[in-house]
Structure 1
Amino acid sequence: MSTPSSIAVAPPLTPVRGLRSITIPRGQLDDSTGLLDYVARNDVHTWVRRGDGLVAFGESARFSTAGPDRFIAAQQWWRTQLDAADVDNPLAVPGSGLVAFGSFAFSKTSQHQSRLIVPRIVVGCRDGHSWLTYITADEGADVTADAAEAALAEYLDETAIERVPDTSDRLTPGILSEEQWMTAVEQGIEHIRSGELSKLVLARDVVAELGSPVATAQVLRELAVRYSDCWTYSVDGLIGSTPEMLIKVENSTAQARVLAGTLDRNNAPADDPDYAQRVLAGSEKQLHEHQIAIDSLTGQLEPFTSTMTSHSEPFVLELPNVWHLASDVTAQLEPGADGSVPTSLALVGALHPTAAVCGTPTTVAGALIRELEHMERGPYAGPVGWMDARGNGEWGIALRGAVIESPTRVRMYAGCGIVAASNAAAELAESWSKFRPMIEALGIRR
């Protein structure tokens, strides 16, 4: 895939002078809500699952870039920040200390700006135990526990009001109508059956036009509660709750969760407890799609590992809107020539895009996506998450989400894996099941 000449060039890697940070333990959080008590502002950055994760406010540094080298450029920028930083962190907990939130464009040809954001305040939680990190680029600022608590209190003084659904709220078509998108799916199936590729992931968009401003914090809390097994994310207007972990790194261990194969729960029989297992695990089409996705990830991850394990057969992941075929992968990372293991962001650059969100071969699938979707995916299906100063991090795939384009306009995305046995009408229905989390969280009736 060639890169257009209009792609932005990464700016010079001039470090923010002397980022300074302090991390302090804060004890146990409420077991019932965890970090959700802090998801109180519409400009919050979040990465939350089952009450644990990170919630952040403000901005102490930012880097943006585009093009095929976006992951490398971001990694280089982060290293310059670490080299110049003064970090006081007594905790040996992933996500404590200096951290950055990130969101990256799906396509290397995209002009959408991928970004890393170093927040000013981070509240973290793991297994119910929390900490607070204060980060500043201000040379004259006091970097103390009292200053950290004062800064947090300042952000929490201005909490967002909740939104009541408006009678003028409506869904409007995205770039393609339903009929046009089904035609694109049929064309994709023809390309697969001709032998050009074995899988293609085609996405579509719909737009929520709201009668009153979106309450981002409220939407995030709704998603986190309803989809507690997913990772609820918010980075710079990109929001959602993804069930798919691209890569998680803790010290020398990497983990991933791969999903492919979907069954809508809307019309499932209530008196058949084995329905999902029988329909998903018994479907040659679903198993084939899943195997392509798992082979894609493990094949790209293997060069960085000494050992790797995954489920011999996929399990059924139950979510409120759908069931998925899922596989968890765990790997021990192999140290490089310098004795260090790859950072989470380095692995993101090596793994993205997987067959789960693009297709295989990825070069052929990527070209067909641009031809058939007729839209700019931007950050949709791109990596989203966080990393810390030790190389740890969690990076999901930005699925089941949306981009807030204005206070009253939200663009949602959903994609479907297409194989030779796919049916366009069934894929359209599946896309609506994947839109459902965001539609419901926004309070819109379809």
Structure 2
Amino acid sequence: MTTLRSVTVPVGERSATIGLLEYLVLDEQLCWIRRQEGLVGFGEAARFTSSGPERFALAQQWWRAALAGADVENPLTQPGTGLVAFGSFAFSKRSPFESRLVIPEIVVGLRDGEAWVTYTTSDPEAEVTAETAVDTLARYLDDLPLYRQSDPADRILPGMLSESEWKNAVARSVAHIAAGDLSKIVLARDIAVELGSPLVASQVLRELAVRYRDCWTYSVDGLIGSTPEMLIRVESGTAEARVLAGTLDRATAPDDEPDYAKRVLAGSAKQQHEHQIAIDSLTRALEPFTSSMTSHSEPFVLELPNVWHLASDVRAELAADETGAVPTPLTLIEALHPTAAVCGFPTSVAGELISELEHMDRGPYAGPVGWMDGAGNGEWGIALRGAVVETPTEVRLYAGCGIVAGSNPAAELEETWSKFRPMLEALGLDRPRAVPRRPSEFASAPAAS
């Protein structure tokens, strides 16, 4: 591949009040932000795409080749400095969606108040200096951010399944569980949004980053959202994950019961069972790569603006192989994906049943999304609470629920609406009183996991 040259320049301290939000100005940009810190990318220096079962391994080969041939000047040691790639991977190994890694031309980073700019180019004639980095960033920031007002023509349409068809799929899932075919399946559905005027993705990202500051707001090639679930974070040989399973809509909470979420979630055998399946799935997959691992003895209640979740954090020290190298983020996400939290258990059985019941290709929904650097650090979340921008005026939203024994189809449908809420609010839309029955003409085709 073409040789990359890169320089990282420290730019001093930045206010945590606004942080990286001021850099969310373009629709075609990359981002990974939590609590106003993280990474924002502009432009493109190099790109990799692949689909199929080998997508993670092929991405690993490409990334290693890019690093091996790169000329990198990086005086900093912060994770996210130096050469960085953003990525998004298909949920299913059979999906036609092209998984991708993108190395931006410019990355702006902010961590613990310290900020930097990284400039990367494949042009052998370009100057790679601190001045070039700052000047190139300034060119991307020439235009002021755009804003979009809600349009009377904006509307929400059904996806591949109507609400009644999806509830029937939930009932069929429960029947499979009762028959002993599997213990959990995560069943997703989609809705389509048609806009009367073009989407301003940067505005949506700013809305998400402010409203859901404890989540990870992401953007990679039209995949946008704000996920509460960390698949894996790797930093200096330590891996961390946040597992969510068990959901309660905050709109249903009584005003006079402060411990309502704890009582309903932590006190529910169904929710605890679903959560334990997700934890066991992740720790089993992660264990071969670790020398030690710890997690909460009991899940905690994670409070988000739209829902509560049962959550557990897992921390592991990564074990070095015979060459002294620790597993890379891509090695780990290949081993972990798909977890029971987004697929079910056993995952092979759940994956086949998902294809049969959902009647859609999830594309990048519920797949790994995040970033990694040349030092082996990275953060990869699960692409939840998000949407795919299909055209400037067509956006597809996805939401899923963990189905176990005792799941109620009507309650699970309501849970999907609570999970659609972050994106709908960011788009300036409310849940319709009734959604038309006819599927959207731009719905996706099915694919199995």
Q: Secondary structure of 1:355's match? A: coil
* TM-score between both structures, scaled by the size of structure 2: 0.95
Q: CA deviation at 1:18?
A: 1.2
1:261 alignment partner AA: G
Q: CA deviation at 1:161?
A: 1.0
Q: CA deviation at 1:270?
A: 1.4
Equivalent residue number for residue 225 of structure 1: 210
Equivalent residue number for residue 320 of structure 2: 335
Native 8 Å contact 1:160 1:215 kept in 2? no
**Runs of 4+ in structure 1 displaced over 3 angstroms?**
none
Percent identity, aligned pairs only, is 68
Equivalent residue number for residue 72 of structure 1: 57
Q: Secondary structure of 1:384's match? A: strand
CA distance in 2, matches of 1:420, 1:332: 35
Equivalent residue number for residue 273 of structure 1: 258
CA distance in 2, matches of 1:32, 1:352: 34
Equivalent residue number for residue 83 of structure 1: 68
CA distance in 2, matches of 1:37, 1:127: 17
The equivalences for 1:164-243 within 5 A come to 164-243=149-228
1:236 alignment partner AA: D
The equivalences for 1:150-161 within 5 A come to 150-161=135-146
Native 8 Å contact 1:42 1:160 kept in 2? no
Native 8 Å contact 2:249 2:308 kept in 1? yes
> Is 1:135 equivalent to 2:128 in the alignment?
no
The equivalences for 1:376-415 within 5 A come to 376-415=361-400
CA distance in 1, matches of 2:27, 2:130: 25
Cα distance per residue 1:47-83 (max 9 Å; x no partner):
0000110001000100000111100000000001011
Equivalent residue number for residue 284 of structure 1: 269
CA distance in 1, matches of 2:422, 2:430: 12
Equivalent residue number for residue 113 of structure 1: 98
Of the three residues 141, 147, 159, the one matched with 2:132 is 147
Of the three residues 8, 22, 34, the one matched with 1:37 is 22
Native 8 Å contact 2:85 2:372 kept in 1? yes
Equivalent residue number for residue 348 of structure 2: 363
> More displaced, 155-164 or 42-51?
155-164
CA distance in 2, matches of 1:80, 1:320: 42
CA distance in 2, matches of 1:445, 1:210: 13
Q: CA deviation at 1:31?
A: 2.2
Native 8 Å contact 1:252 1:341 kept in 2? yes
Cα distance per residue 1:148-183 (max 9 Å; x no partner):
001000000124410000011110001100000000
Q: Secondary structure of 1:426's match? A: helix
> Is 1:125 equivalent to 2:114 in the alignment?
no
The equivalences for 1:250-269 within 5 A come to 250-269=235-254
Native 8 Å contact 2:107 2:118 kept in 1? yes
CA distance in 2, matches of 1:300, 1:329: 12
Equivalent residue number for residue 244 of structure 1: 229
Q: Secondary structure of 1:312's match? A: coil
* TM-score between both structures, scaled by the size of structure 1: 0.96
Q: CA deviation at 1:291?
A: 0.2
Of the three residues 26, 48, 65, the one matched with 1:63 is 48
CA distance in 2, matches of 1:322, 1:82: 41
Work out the number of aligned pairs and report it: 431
Equivalent residue number for residue 96 of structure 1: 81
CA distance in 2, matches of 1:51, 1:400: 18
CA distance in 2, matches of 1:209, 1:159: 25
Cα distance per residue 1:12-63 (max 9 Å; x no partner):
xxx1x21000001111112211111111111110000001100010001000
Cα distance per residue 1:198-251 (max 9 Å; x no partner):
000000000111011111011001000000110000000000000000000001
CA distance in 2, matches of 1:159, 1:133: 22
Q: CA deviation at 1:436?
A: 0.1
Native 8 Å contact 2:224 2:387 kept in 1? yes
Native 8 Å contact 1:175 1:375 kept in 2? yes
Equivalent residue number for residue 446 of structure 2: none
Cα distance per residue 1:376-404 (max 9 Å; x no partner):
00000000000100111000000000000
> Is 1:443 equivalent to 2:428 in the alignment?
yes
CA distance in 1, matches of 2:109, 2:46: 19
CA distance in 2, matches of 1:391, 1:67: 24
Segments of 5+ residues of structure 1 without an aligned counterpart are 1-14
Native 8 Å contact 1:380 1:399 kept in 2? yes
Segments of 5+ residues of structure 2 without an aligned counterpart are 432-449
Cα distance per residue 1:282-335 (max 9 Å; x no partner):
000000000000000001000100010000000000000000000000000000
CA distance in 2, matches of 1:322, 1:190: 27
Q: CA deviation at 1:116?
A: 0.4
CA distance in 2, matches of 1:438, 1:346: 31
> Is 1:48 equivalent to 2:33 in the alignment?
yes
Native 8 Å contact 2:16 2:37 kept in 1? no
Cα distance per residue 1:352-384 (max 9 Å; x no partner):
000000000010000000000000000000000
CA distance in 1, matches of 2:75, 2:350: 46
Of the three residues 321, 327, 348, the one matched with 2:333 is 348
1:71 alignment partner AA: F
Q: Secondary structure of 2:351's match? A: helix
Q: Secondary structure of 1:139's match? A: coil
Cα distance per residue 1:86-138 (max 9 Å; x no partner):
00001111110000000000001111100000000000010111100000000
Native 8 Å contact 1:50 1:224 kept in 2? yes
1:309 alignment partner AA: T
CA distance in 2, matches of 1:325, 1:109: 31
Q: Secondary structure of 1:179's match? A: helix
Q: Secondary structure of 1:142's match? A: coil
